[in-house]
Amino acid sequence: MICLDHVHIFSSDITKTIGFYCTMFGARVVYDASLVGQRNVRLDIGGMAMHVYDQRPRSADRGLVHHLGIRTDDLDTLVAHMQKHGVTFRKDITEDPAFCYVMCEAPDGVLLELYQVKLGGEWMIGKGAE
């Protein structure tokens, strides 16, 4: 299984950003915690996910979208497949108790996060979050 899981945006005022999406589009917070050193909030908007970093955009040329999140149930196999087709990864897979991930670039410099939720980490994607 491989699916587009989320868009991840930067926010200079995370409370205002969350309030906007909740009020305007009926979003609900399904995850709110620190991940990899930054507050990260996952919103469910009509069954689709958006993550919000509590961090100003790093540079004007990349805009507010940080990356696209691609979820898989077999990260090692996906990475090997992509490497076989010439995709390079600057770092190895990062391990966390609830998930593992790796970043790479798609054409035109689009940053991709490839990740796998580990057993017990389903709460990260809104399963059982109510």
pLDDT in tens, 107-130: 657 788 999 988 766 666 665 433
Residue percentage of the chain with pLDDT more than 70: 86
pTM for this prediction? 0.66
pLDDT band, very low/low/confident/very high, at 103 (cuts 50, 70, 90):
very high
Distances (CA, A) of 61 to 44, 51, 67, 109, 111: 27, 20, 14, 11, 13
Distances (CA, A) of 115 to 68, 84, 121: 11, 18, 12
Position of tokens 């410099």?
Answer: 109
pLDDT in tens, 40-92: 999 998 888 989 989 887 766 666 778 888 888 999 999 999 999 989 998 99
CATH of 2-125, one of 3.90.1150.10, 1.20.140.10, 3.40.50.10470, 3.10.180.10: 3.10.180.10
